[in-house]
Amino acid sequence: MKILMVCLGNICRSPLAHGIMEHLVKENKLDWEIDSAGTGNWHIGQGPDRRSTREAKNNGIDISSQVCRQFRVSDFDEFDLILVMDRNNKADVLRLASTDADRAKVKMLLGDREVPDPYHDDTLFAPVFNMVMEGCKKIISAYQ
């Protein structure tokens, strides 16, 4: 199983989702590959936002070596599941889909709930971490 985590910037939410899912995959001894990307291009080549890096580190997860990249159309072929954080991410990714098979791969990590964008609110990083952890655990139970 190959899973791509997607948010807007690929510096706050999807790097957390990437790191948390890799952590859980290792814990559960699963043969899954995880990556992340952003729909936007502003932060390409940068590491995660330091507030995400700190929140992950406080929870025993190291995301400091991740490098931001932008979502690309070939990701539809590369990945089995494309997990987005909010409805805007979903619309942006779906706009690039060309087949029903592409579209079927795109789901919100939390189902019908959004992971809020914490970029302009420092207090959101801790709840975002917890929401993403909860979502990743549900994905593991559903697909392992």
Task: Please list the active-site residues.
Answer: 7, 13, 117
Closer residue to ligand 4NP, CB minimum distance, 12 or 83: 12
Query: In this structure, what DSSP letter does residue 108 have?
Result: E
Q: Write the CB contacts of 41 (distance below 8 Å, at least 6 apart in sequence).
A: 70
d(CA 78, CA 81): 9
The mark string for 42-81 relative to ligand 4NP (x by CB under 6 A, - otherwise) is x---------------------------------------
d(CA 100, CA 84): 17
Adjacent-strand bridge partners of 81 = 3
Which residue in the set 3, 4, 5, 12 belongs to the binding site for ligand 4NP (CB under 6 A)?
A: 12
User: Is 132 one of the binding residues for ligand 4NP (CB under 6 A)?
Assistant: no
Q: Are 75 and 14 in contact (CB under 8 A)?
A: no
Which residue in the set 4, 5, 11, 20 belongs to the binding site for ligand 4NP (CB under 6 A)?
A: 11
The maximal CA–CA distance of the chain, rounded, in angstroms, is 41
User: Is 119 one of the binding residues for ligand 4NP (CB under 6 A)?
Assistant: yes
**Interface contacts to ligand 4NP, rule CB under 6 A:** 7-13, 42, 117, 119
